[in-house]
Amino acid sequence: MLKSNKFVNRTPRFNILSEDDKEEIYDASLEILQNTGVKVEHEEARSIFSGAGAKVEDNIVHLPPHLVNDAVSKAPKKVLMYDRNGELAMRLGGTNSYFGSGTDVPRTLDEDGEIRQTVAEDIAKWAKVCDALDNIDFSSPIGLLRKEKEHVQDILEAKQVMTNTTKPVMFCSWDERGTEDIFNMASVAVGGKEQLKAKPYIIHYIEPVTPLSHSKEVMAQTIFGAKNNLPTIYTPMPSAGAVSPMTFAGSIALGLAESLTGITLAQLVNEGAPMITGGIYSILDMQTSGFVYGGPEFALMNGAVAEMSNFLDLPMFGTAGVTDSKVVDTQAAIEASFNIATQSLVGSNLIHDVGYLSSGLLYSYDQLVMSDEIIGMVKRIMEGIDTSGDNIPLDLIDEVGPKGNFLNTSHTMDNFKEEHWQPSLMDRKNFDGWEADGSKTMGDRISEKRDDILENYEAPVLEDDKQEKIDEIIEEERENRKVEY
């Protein structure tokens, strides 16, 4: 999985923010944290902040700039993620880009074209498709198991992913206990807690409540993650004009202040705790009152947030492969292509939600499969052009000379596989060849690839004895766990 990203720094990038812009946004975030403060609904977290010198008034915490700056300097600049077999899978940081799916979507658009609630088999099949696709680097429990009891939904969802792909797993949980359960399940999958701490295989995704509020569940989960070296994404979801300022700079400054709160807490608990910043930033559409997932504002704001993360030298959580369209159509392809390219060009690291339709309310195998192809194209562009070594073969050009050809030279044979990107879905036949092959549309080819994976791909299923241990954890929690808010 790593080699597909190894040339990520070669292609020139575009800039959204100037250095002065970044300084202004960061300074504004520090001012928000010091003057306005943040609501922290967790007694231990407030005590930790207070003990480090923050001013606490009731449940409002005012963080001094030096405390935040110190936390940013101590947070890891790179977070290494491993697969279920202990092999290095992702180097999060810098401008390395990796793509994967999202979590907790209310409904699925299944392979038969039916929109319905998610069941456990859907999550297992989704993990299998993610495992099969070359350009998908991590997976996650894509749907909510609403037919299950709430207190075990999160751990049942996590189990389906862990048992059906070896790729790193991003997860969500209801509360600290669910986080600990999933941590223990992952420990079983990789062979022990110390192995998991040394080579993290799961990433925890949590959100504050915009604007400037941090629930007791989220604070407790952050503390647990810091104590256990669990990579944690602490990321807001500002909607400009609704829960954050309508101006993009103001929305980014507020959201960054929220992310910095989680990063500061984690470093106070355990210096060097692996944290990932970023977010899902967009606008409230004033005509529909919806959260926009496919518009240029979405790409612009999340691109700027990636630049802020690079400015602070912190790993970045991004979003792409998404659309506001309700079906996999031309709109879905346009919007997914645009946000995948933008997130790559600005150097986002952990790019999630690939496969989302309907502004994040629906997920689709076809959107995932199509986006995998788009990611492959964008990665080839990001690899750039190598001018070193024999890549400008002057002797060969002199030998072939005017009116010659390079088709039968060893140089062509030696280099075409590296230089050429080979599509799995795009059609390059001439018209007669395309017609002879059945005049298939892109939609036809996507469906064929999806069906081939679902029917023929053998997922690397977790060993039975490990699954049994995970099931024991789940069954114990069916009896003993309660979810309270």
> At 22, is the pLDDT very low, low, confident or very high (cuts 50, 70, 90)?
very high
What is the rounded distance in angstroms from the CA atom of residue 179 to the CA atom of residue 222? Answer: 10
Q: Quick check: 238 and 255 in contact, CB under 8 A?
A: yes
Going along the chain from its start, the domains and CATH numbers come out as 3-16+71-383 (3.20.20.480), 389-419 (no CATH)
Tokens standing for residue 420: 């050429």
CA atoms within 13 A on the CB side of 168: 33
Query: Chain centroid to CA 480: how far?
Result: 32
CA-wise closest residue to 213 among 254, 272, 169: 254
Query: What is the model's pLDDT at position 432?
Result: 97
What is the rounded distance in angstroms from the CA atom of residue 473 to the CA atom of residue 468? Answer: 9
What is the rounded distance in angstroms from the CA atom of residue 238 to the CA atom of residue 210? Answer: 6
Query: What is the model's pLDDT at position 11?
Result: 62
Q: Is residue 415 over pLDDT 60? A: yes
The terminus-to-terminus CA distance of the chain in angstroms comes to: 39
Q: For the residues 250-279, what does the mean pLDDT come to?
A: 98
In the predicted model, what is the mean pLDDT of the chain?
95
Sequence letter at residue 236: P
Q: For the residues 206-232, what does the mean pLDDT come to?
A: 98
Q: Is residue 269 over pLDDT 50? A: yes
* DSSP class of 224: H
Question: What SS3 class is residue 318?
Answer: strand
Q: Quick check: 446 and 329 in contact, CB under 8 A?
A: no
What is the rounded distance in angstroms from the CA atom of residue 434 to the CA atom of residue 423? Answer: 15
> At 203, is the pLDDT very low, low, confident or very high (cuts 50, 70, 90)?
very high
**In 207-256, where do the E strands start and end?**
213-214, 232-234, 239-240
Region for 392 from its dihedrals, namely left if φ exceeds 0, alpha if ψ lies in -120 to 50, beta otherwise:
beta
Q: Which helix (H) or strand (E) holds 317?
A: strand 316-319
Q: Which helix (H) or strand (E) holds 82?
A: strand 79-82
Query: Chain centroid to CA 212: how far?
Result: 23
Query: What is the model's pLDDT at position 2?
Result: 38
Q: How many residues does the chain have?
A: 485
Q: Is residue 271 over pLDDT 80? A: yes
pLDDT tens, residue by residue, 31-55: 999 999 999 999 999 999 999 999 9
pTM over 0.85: yes
Query: What is the model's pLDDT at position 12?
Result: 58
What is the rounded distance in angstroms from the CA atom of residue 208 to the CA atom of residue 217? Answer: 10
pLDDT tens, residue by residue, 124-156: 999 999 999 999 999 999 999 999 999 999 999
